[in-house]
Each structure stands twice: as C-alpha cells, then as structure tokens.
Structure 1
Amino acid sequence: MSKWVWFSVCIGWCLGSLLYGLDTTIAADVQGSILESLGEIEKLSWVGSGFPMGSVATILLLGYCYGLFQIKWVYLGSIVLFEIGSAICGAAPTMDALIVGRVLAGIGGAGMYLGCLTYIAMFTSLKERSLYNALAGFCWGVGCILGPVIGGAFADSNATWRWAFYINLVLAAVSAPIYIFCFPRCDPHPNLIAKEKWKKVDWLGAFLMMTLICLLTIVLSFAGSTWRWQSGGSIALWVLFGLSLIAFSLQQTFAIFTTEEHRLFPVQFLKSRTLILFYFGTEAAGTGLFITIYYVPLYFQFTKDDSAIEAAVRLLPFITVVIFFIMFSGALLPMFAWYNAWYLISGAFILIGSSLMLRVTQTTHAAAIYGFEIIIAIGTGLSVQIGYSLASAKVKPHEVAQAIGFINVAQIGSVSIALSISGSIFQNMGFKHLQDSLAPYNFTESQLRLALSGAQSTLFSNSSAQVKELAIGAVTRTISSIYGLLIAAGVLMVMSAIFMKREKLQLTHSVAGG
C-alpha cells in the first residue's frame, strides 16, 4: 500500500487503541457521580470491572477470529460493538443497563486492540514490529492514564458523566472514513468459504472461557463484601468456578468437540517456558499500571479532598514516565534484545516503588507520592508492551495471531483480576478498618460501606474533624495495603526474569506478511 494509506491506517488503529485504553480506566473517577445518579452501591464496582471482564472473556475467541476471518470485517464489527456499548452506557437509566453497556464495550474494545496488533503483525517486519507495538502501547497507555482525567472533567462539568461515554460516538463518527476506505483487507484463509470458517471455531471452548472469566470476576467482586466468605452464595460460586476451570482445561487438552489445530487456547504454548514467563511478566506489568492508575487518585481524593479532576491530574508524573519508557523499550528492544534483562530491571523498579507505597500514610507529602509513582512507572513502562514483539518472534509464522491473543490475555486479564482483587481488598479491609476506628461512634454498616464510595459521603461531609481524621486514616491504611498486591507482581516479574533463558532474540527478519 502507499505511504499515505499506511499513515492513515496507523492513525486509525492508534485512535482505536487510545479509545480502548480510555474506556478501560475512565470509570475510575466517575463512580461517585454515577452512584449519585443511579444508586445501587452494591453494584458500583462493576462499572470498573465489567469492561475488562468483557474483554478478557472474549480475547481468545476474537484472536482466533482474526486468524481465520477477513480481518477488516472483524475490526469494523468490533468498532460497531464498542460504540453500541458506549451508547448504552451514556443513556443508561439504571445501573444494570450501565453494566451491560460496559461489558459490550469491553468486548468491542478488545477486538479493536487485537485488530491493531494483528494489522501490525501482518504488515510490518520483526525489526519494525517492536516500535509499532510500542506505538500501540503508547496510545493504549495514554488512553488508560488519561481516562481518569477525562472522566473526572466530565463528571465535574455540566455535561455530566454520561459524556464520558458519549464522546466515543463523536470520535468514531469523525474517524469512520479512515476505517471504511483506508483499512486494507487481509484474509488469512482465502480458500475457505465463510461456512467452513464458522465450523472451525471452537464454540464450546469459547463458552467455557466466558463462563470461567465471568464466574471469577463475580466471586472476587462479591465475596466478602456483598456476600460473606462463608455464605452459601460465595461457596457455590467458588465451586462453580473450580468446575468451569476443570471443564475448560479438559476440553482444551483433549480437544473435545474441536481439533488440536482449532482449539481456542494455544495449549502448545504451555510447553514453552519462555512464553509462559512472557505471560507472567506482562501480567505483572499490567497489574502495576492499573493499581496505580486507580488508587493514586483515590488516595488524593480522601487525604487532600481533591475533586475528581484534581485527583486525576496528580497522575501526570506517572503518565509522562510510563509513556516515555514504553517508547524507549520499543525503540531499543531490537538493538538490545536480551529480554531477561528488560524484565529483571522492570521487576526491580516495580518492587521498589510498591514497597515504598506500602508505607504511605495520610500525612505523606505529595512530592514523595509523585516520586514513588515515577519508580513504578519506569518498571511498568519498560515491560508492559514488549511481550507482543517477543512472543511473536518465538512462535511459528502461523501462530503469530495466537501469540498476540495469548499475551493480550495476560495484559487485559491482569486488569480484570487486579481490579477485582484490589476492589475486594478495598471493600473488605476498608470496612474493617473503618469499623475498628469508628467503633465508639455507632455508625451503621451501610454508612461505613457508603463512605468507601468516596470522600463526598455524608460520613466525611457531615462529621466532626476528629471523625473525619479517623476515617481518612482508616481508608489510607486500606489503600496502602493494596500495594502488597503490587509487591507480589514485582516479585513474580523478577522471578520470571531469573528463570528466562539468557539469549538475545534476532528481531530483524520478516514474518507473517511483513
């Protein structure tokens, strides 16, 4: 294709990656406004977790479709689904409608991001690919980190939180000509008719994967907060999750109602120590990115009484450094391709930064928080995107699409799992800390639960200075403890790097149509 067409294509998938990243985190700073408008605090966590749940539940199916069907139509279909979900979110009359919209947008967004990575894999050489993947990660990362800022700006304006979702419709309409007229077609299997392609899809595996992810997200979100750990509902969900995990594992291992060639999960990758360690490294980096994005603004909202937009602006040091190191790693990876060193350095920075955040209190100076952010940002930026290029270089040409989906499960799956676990920690430990700190004041359970939804709750706004101080201290201890999850991610990345091969990949030859 001509240079100007390729340039237009790059603009298109950059915008798609930006929108996907934006919607991944845009709920971080609009939840308080949504709660005021729609109520149902027990469902509030789904505003954040519903989007990544929809993504990770369908990533493998979407990745398989990109390796089987005409990629342009899969990409355009993903955009349409993303916009339908955004429209439902913007117009949602109830919390249930909003959650449905978030899940649909998550599915469409995952298809958009996978489409971007698939176009890169199909039309670039290995030498170029790491830089293009870094560009995609740059756009996705910018969207992720600007999500709270833009969401907070809409929530604090007359436009209201609904335009945090409606804005996707406007941007899609403006860029539609690029997607329709400039994006090239590429059929991985031109000799197969559509009916034959549909028969090759592992529909049972797709259903079991969706069931598995949905059950995991539900049980992590509700157990301990909405339902007690020992309640029948929690136990039943854990049992169902375990059974679905076993069923999916057996179905994929023995290719039940499918074939080894067409099964959804690339089981053969589990025989590769290197690919498994790439998966762990990507998951650890994603955890570092999203824990920081969600909980740094929350810390400042409670301790400094920041508005949504003011708290989000506190992420600017993190934004700048993550973006720089995503591009830095993408540019240097072909020249310094000893990948174990990248993950070792990245893990060390994440481990140091999260250990410092674990010690944060309500009196910690803002400048210190910015410094801790930057340390974590260096670690996450160095490794959050390189797994795509490395995994593509380690597999056979016909497995590139599967490798992209495999790493994407790690990256987006880390969002869903990290937010679900951290949300459970925040709700459970936050309630316990508030209950212990405010025991003499006889607040009800519902008042304490509501206080965790934001510093604007009545417990903070209508209480004495002493009560507010005790409550802020309790919430701050809870937020700090969440960084224990990030310490675990740093340890995982360091251990993964230690067990990786001491080899340098040759990212110079061309594959998969490059």
Structure 2
Amino acid sequence: MDYAKNPSDSSSPETQSTISGQGSKEQSPSDNDSSLRNLEKNPLESTEEVVTDVRKAKGVSTWKWVLTLITVYVTGALYGLDTTVAADVQGTVLEQFGEPEKLAWIGVGFPLGSVAVILSMGKAYGIFDVKWLFFATAVMFEVGSAICGAAPNMNALIIGRVIAGAGGAGIYLGGLNILSLLSSPRERPLYIAGTGVSWGVGTILGPIIGGAFAESSATWRWAFYINLVIFAVTCPVYIFAIPSLDPQPTLKLFQRLAAVDWLGTVLNAAIYAVWVLALTFGGAEWAWDDGRTIACFVTCGVLIILFGLQQRFKIFTTKAQRIFPAGFLESRSLVLQHFATACTTTTIFAPVYYIPLFFQFTRDDGAISAAVRLLPFICVTIFCIMFNGTLMPKFGYYQPWYIFGGIMITIGGALMFTVDSTTATSKVYGYSVILAIGTGVANQAAYSVTPVKVAMDPRFGPQMIPDAIGFINMAQIGAAVHALAISGTVFQNLAFQYLQSALAGYGYLDAQLHGAIAGTQSQLLAQATDAVRALALEAIVKAMSRVYILVIVAGGVLLISSLGMKTEKLFMEMSAGGA
C-alpha cells in the first residue's frame, strides 16, 4: 500500500461507501471473523468500522471498552505515581531506618526494576495472552507495593521498589498493547496520548500523595498501600471486561516458556543493575578511583559485550525470540525515535525531582507545598501531550514536533541552569513552562509513529508492533534510570565539593556536609548562622543548577535527531471515507 497518497484515491466506490457507513449491511459472525483476520494481517489498512467489528468479535461492548480504557489509564497513573512517590517520603524513611547511603536506591530502584525487564516484557506480550500477562504484572506490582508498605528495614523497601518497578513496566507496556490492538490508526494516537496524560497525572500526584501521607498519622507506608486499594477496585475489569488477546493461540504453555530468551533477560538486567550501582555509590560512598567503583564499570562493560554476543550469535535463543530487536538498529527512523524518546523522558525527571528540592531549600517549603510547585511544569506537559496526540495524526507530519521540542527544551534547560537561590519564583515557573512545552509536544509521539513505521517496513511488518512498543518503552524507562542516577551523582558530588569550598573555614565534618545535602532539616542548616546558611544554600543550589546540563544536552540531542528524521506524512489512512 502506498502511504504517501490519500487512500481514497485507490479505494473503490464500494469500499468508500462501506467506510462512510453508506450502503452497508448488517454483518454476520463470519463477517466479523473475516474483519478480524483482515485487521491482524494489516492493521494499518483497517478502518474504524473494522476495529469496531473486532471489538464486537472479542465481546467488547461499549461499556466494557470504556472500563478497559479507565483501567489502562488508572494503571498508567499508578505507574507514574510510584515513579515519583519516593521523592517526598525519603526524609521520613531516613528518620525511621537510617542508612543514608542507601537512600538513593528508593528513588532509582523503581525505574531500575522496570528497565531490567522491559525488553523481555516486550517479547512476552508477543508470546503470551495480553490480557492475562497484563493481569499477572499488575499482581507483581501490587506485591512489590505491599512489600514496600510493610518493609521493616531499608533493604526490604528497596527490594519492594524493584519488584514494583518490574510489575509497573508490565502494566504500562500491557496497556499500550491493549490500546494498540483494540483501536484503529485513527484513534490510536489520542488513546496513546491518554497514557501519557495518566502517567503525567500520576507523576505530579506522586510527590503530593507521598508528602501528604508522610506528614499524616497514616505514615509514609500508605503511599504504597494505596496501590492495593485501587487494584482491588479495578480487579473485576481485568478479569471480566478486558478481552483475551492471544497473539499465538496455537502454542502450548511449555512452548511459550521455551520461546523466552532467558539468558538475554538475565544479562540485560545485570547490565543496568551494575551500571546504577556504579553511578549511585561512585563519588559518594566510594571514590571514583576505588577498586569497587572501577570493578562495577568494568563488569558493566563485560556484560554489555556478552549481551551483544549472545544476541548477535543467538546463544540459547533464536533470531525471532531474542529480546533485543537488533533489526531495528538498521532503521534510521526507529533509532532516531528511540533517541528522541530518551531525550524527552530525561527532561521530565530532572525537573520533577529538583524543582521541589529547590523550593524546599530556598523557600523552606514542606513536602506538599514543594510538590505543588511542580504544577506549572506538569500541567503544561500534560496539555502539550494531548495537543500533540490530537493534532499530529490530523496533519500527519511528525518531524516538526520533534524540532520544536528540541529547541524549547534546550532554551528551557539553559534558563534553569541560570537559577540561583535569589531567583524569583515567577521566573522559575516561567522557565519550567518553556521546558514543559518542549517536553510535552514530543514525549509520547514515538508511540504513535513507531508502530506505523514498523508495520510499513517490509523488513518487520505488523507482527513486530509489540517489539516496537517495547523498543520505545525501553528508551523511556531506561532514560528515567539514567536521568535519576546521573543527576543524583552530579548533585551529590558537586554539592559536597561546593560546600567544602564555601564552608572551608568553619570546621564542619564531611558527615555534616553530607547531612546538609540530604535536607533542610539537617543539623548544619538548622543551627547555622544566617551568613553560613546563605553560603551553604548558594553552594547547594549551584550544584542543583548543574543538573540541568543534562537537560540541555538532551535538548540538543533531540534537535539533532529530529533533523535526521524524514519529512514525511504518516497516518494518511485516517482520511479514508472523507473523515
């Protein structure tokens, strides 16, 4: 099919009248089965009417479809919420458990669990029934949340965060697959954009909910227990409303299990675990030239080589079953979509963690007040995601969105880099809005573009759409891990160096300086004179501003990537039938 021209030019009058609803007749069950087969063969050539027939063939009535959408979006919100909920409970957790050297793992543990399994999850959704895998990963997410809520010590909390992160990746990816399989190309961008909105809502509510529970009699534990309550409410929808979507119905269970690339899964998870270990402890607990830090980096490099060899030579797997879709690396378009998604995700996580922290240090905000300061950034990001999801499929061009996003992110990041302890609140809000515009207009675009590109490419085809979604999800979640780990390392190391320099003549111990970085309630900041406190805050905020170098780089890479994209028009089948 030629996607560069209007399908109405190549459609017969009979087809056009059927698409527009004129001259159609009531379909029999066999007609529905035929429509389903046609959709599975080439989903990009299907119309909304065919998709409606597929929903009917699957027993998805209007109310079931609405409940399915609500459940997918609620789980997306929970995934976003748990990504940032730790931001405002860390102080309370530290007071109860101690062990400040492990504090960073509460934040990074969740996305680490996600990225460790995202590739294998992407393949699994092409092997197992989407409905039941979606349900199973939701259960895993709840188990992790329960462990976090009941954690007796820091180690248990970290383990719970990693388990919840792995389950969260599954429910987020499952939701994207469900929406893709049960929606037409015309509907899909808006539905996919809805996942971005729900995730964004969860992201902003995360610090607020976490801070509210941390300051209440319910304690921080209910920041995690709340997930169990929501799951109990939505559980019937998982079981009764979402239809069975089995990509390979003829395979038996042992054949499905044998199709999983277990060795690749373990190697991929180990790469991220060792990498984050090196970044989290390097320069903070361990010196950069410490043998343990060096060993982590060397081990990570060796694991990357082993993973590459295992995937290249298909050791204990096959070309079709290996978890990394190596063939995608041959497509410039897919690689650039991957980079673009990673860049826009990076520009979300740095502000989400460091804007509230800025106001806690400079304005003495509490946990809830500091989280509310994120509203301009998150609200504008959500609006722009919806704006992109609505207009991009209407006009068909995707490259301009990325170009504009790269420019705005670079400008916004550069402005945030100039912020110091005396910068007016209105300026911080304004800079964050510029950053939000660039982030929002491009953040979810790849989820609409990539499935179309993959289905159109004869090297891949529609059967590779689940892999394509996993490929982009890997970029999104992997970027979250890298953004949190790198920004945390930059902030912790530079803040310590700047404090040492600023307070060199005051005789403070290293432990006191690290305590000041951990929060405004530290002994140093609480008991210092106004002059010393001003010096300390200036040093800490200066280190915080350096985090935005990562955002500036992300904006630049996004702009360069967008210039390498094709200036083409996709989604042309949306105009079929004169719609």
TM exceeding 0.5: yes
| 1:53 paired residue number | 112
Match of 2:408 among 338, 349, 355: 349
CA displacement 1:334-369 (0-9 Å, x = unmatched): 122221111000011100000000000100000000
Q: Which runs of 4+ in 1 moved over 4 A?
A: none
Query: Is the contact made by 1:127 and 1:507 (CA closer than 8 Å) also made in structure 2?
Result: no
Give the TM-score normalised by structure 1: 0.98
CA distance in 1, matches of 2:395, 2:518: 45
Deviation for aligned residue 1:507: 5.2
| 1:417 paired residue number | 482
Gaps of 5+ in 2: 1-59, 455-460
Amino acid at match of 2:547: I
| 2:466 paired residue number | 401
Match of 1:22 among 70, 81, 99: 81
Amino acid at match of 1:171: I
Give the TM-score normalised by structure 2: 0.87
Pairing 1:271-286 to 2, within 5 Å after superposition: 271-286=330-345
CA distance in 2, matches of 1:103, 1:287: 20
Deviation for aligned residue 1:250: 1.2
CA displacement 1:364-394 (0-9 Å, x = unmatched): 0000000011001101111111111111001
Amino acid at match of 2:255: E
CA displacement 1:246-273 (0-9 Å, x = unmatched): 1111111221111111111000000000
Query: Is the contact made by 1:125 and 1:508 (CA closer than 8 Å) also made in structure 2?
Result: no
Query: Is the contact made by 1:220 and 1:420 (CA closer than 8 Å) also made in structure 2?
Result: yes
Query: Is the contact made by 1:13 and 1:116 (CA closer than 8 Å) also made in structure 2?
Result: yes
Amino acid at match of 1:474: A
Pairing 1:15-94 to 2, within 5 Å after superposition: 15-94=74-153
Pairing 1:431-450 to 2, within 5 Å after superposition: 431-450=496-515
Amino acid at match of 2:263: L
Pairing 1:439-478 to 2, within 5 Å after superposition: 439-478=504-543
Deviation for aligned residue 1:509: 6.3
1:383 aligned counterpart, secondary structure: coil
CA distance in 2, matches of 1:388, 1:153: 33
| 1:306 paired residue number | 365
Query: Is the contact made by 1:334 and 1:508 (CA closer than 8 Å) also made in structure 2?
Result: no
| 1:200 paired residue number | 259
CA distance in 2, matches of 1:346, 1:48: 27
Supply the RMSD in Å over aligned alpha carbons.
1.0
**Structure possessing the higher radius of gyration over alpha carbons:** 2
Amino acid at match of 1:131: L
Query: Is the contact made by 1:63 and 1:401 (CA closer than 8 Å) also made in structure 2?
Result: yes
CA distance in 2, matches of 1:139, 1:29: 20
1:303 aligned counterpart, secondary structure: helix
Amino acid at match of 2:532: V
Deviation for aligned residue 1:93: 1.1
1:508 aligned counterpart, secondary structure: helix
Query: Is the contact made by 1:340 and 1:502 (CA closer than 8 Å) also made in structure 2?
Result: yes
Deviation for aligned residue 1:508: 3.0
The share of aligned pairs that are identical, in percent, is: 51
| 1:430 paired residue number | 495
Pairing 1:27-176 to 2, within 5 Å after superposition: 27-176=86-235
Amino acid at match of 2:567: R
CA distance in 2, matches of 1:413, 1:336: 30
User: Is 1:217 the equivalent of 2:217?
Assistant: no
Amino acid at match of 1:222: F
1:161 aligned counterpart, secondary structure: coil
CA distance in 2, matches of 1:500, 1:488: 19
Query: Is the contact made by 1:70 and 1:185 (CA closer than 8 Å) also made in structure 2?
Result: yes
Match of 2:553 among 455, 478, 488: 488
Deviation for aligned residue 1:180: 1.7
User: Is 1:358 the equivalent of 2:417?
Assistant: yes
